[in-house]
Amino acid sequence: MYKKNLARLLSLLLALVLLCGAAAPAYAAVGSFSDVPAGHWAYDDIMWARQNGIVGGIGSNMFAPGDDVSYAAMVEMLCNAFFADEYEAYEAANAQRLKEVFGEDTYWFSYRAYFFLSNKLLTNAGAMITSYSSMMSAMNRNNMAQIIANVLTKKGVTVTDAQKRAAEAEISDLDAIPAAYRDAVLICYSLDLLNGTDGQFLGGNHTTRAQACAVIRRVADLLSAGEDPDPDPSPEVTPSPDQPEGFEPSVVVPDE
């Protein structure tokens, strides 16, 4: 009898262990960054982005969540998150042309940045893809709002004027936002993709890597909620890239 009860108890304990393992977060399998503890405000967002191949670390199993996100890093993250198939097809179809445009002075962000520029995803976003220092500089919140709005436009997401007017009431420093970025900020506010601090948007402040992950996840959730249940399996491919507006192929060297 004792042996029978012991065997039953061991079976129950094993089932409990298996159940707890199944309930653990899926991203536990990829492991956490050493500088992103479970209590970090953006832990879930960063782990989600890592699990989905949207972000990597900076080396030594670190992510640097509080560091500024660069234009180059933001382009890579957005490309991985929302245009992976389109970009892969684009690069394959235009490999020779891209080599001709960039020559030997190609940086890790060059092709994706060119893809974004060609698809009007960098319109008014404040970066020159041919300037190394520009692409590696910190992206501020105004420019983040603009590039996110460009992505939403590309994905067919629209916001009504009534929604934008409602969003205006939430931003106490609206007049401080340059007119060129105001519409993009209102779009992001209308869809709860961005928010401010004590009613202020503070558009000139830099965007951190953690904040970028949080915003990208919100965009992903938004797009998933409105996803076509039977999407076209063939991604749209931009034709062979003629020189897009604002591109100077002779300036593909790091700035001193």
Amino acid of residue 120: K
Exposed / middle / buried, residue 201 (Cβ in 10 Å: 0-12, 13-18, 19+): buried
Question: DSSP characters for 40-83?
Answer: STTHHHHHHHHHTTS---SBTTB--TTSBPBHHHHHHHHHHHH-
Q: Yes or no: say if 145 and 184 are a contact pair by the CB < 8 Å rule.
A: yes
Please count the other Cβ atoms lying within 10 Å of the Cβ belonging to residue 149: 24
CB 77 within 8 A of CB 54: yes
Q: Which region, left, alpha or beta, applies to residue 45 given φ > 0 means left and ψ of -120 to 50 means alpha?
A: alpha
Please report, in tens digits, the pLDDT of each residue of the chain (256 residues total).
Answer: 544 454 554 454 444 434 444 444 554 546 789 999 999 999 999 999 999 999 999 999 999 999 999 999 999 999 999 999 999 999 999 999 999 988 877 899 999 999 999 999 999 998 899 899 999 999 999 999 999 999 999 999 999 999 999 999 999 999 999 999 999 999 999 999 999 889 999 999 999 999 999 999 999 999 999 754 444 444 454 554 555 655 554 333 333 3
Percentage with pLDDT > 70 across the chain:
77
Query: How many residues in the chain?
Result: 256
- CA dist 31 and 8 (Å) reads 34
Position 229 scores a pLDDT of: 42
- Residue 250's pLDDT is 37
Q: Is 183 exposed, middle or buried (0-12, 13-18, 19+ CB in 10 A)?
A: middle
The span from the CA of 50 to the CA of 162, in Å, is 36
Return d(Cα 202, Cα 216) in angstroms, integer: 19
pLDDT digits (tens, 9 = 90+) for 154-192: 999 999 999 999 999 999 999 999 999 999 999 999 999
| 7, amino acid identity | A
Determine how many CB atoms are found less than 10 A away from the CB of residue 86. 17
Look at residue 20 in the predicted model and tell me its pLDDT: 46
Q: What is the pLDDT of residue 15?
A: 46
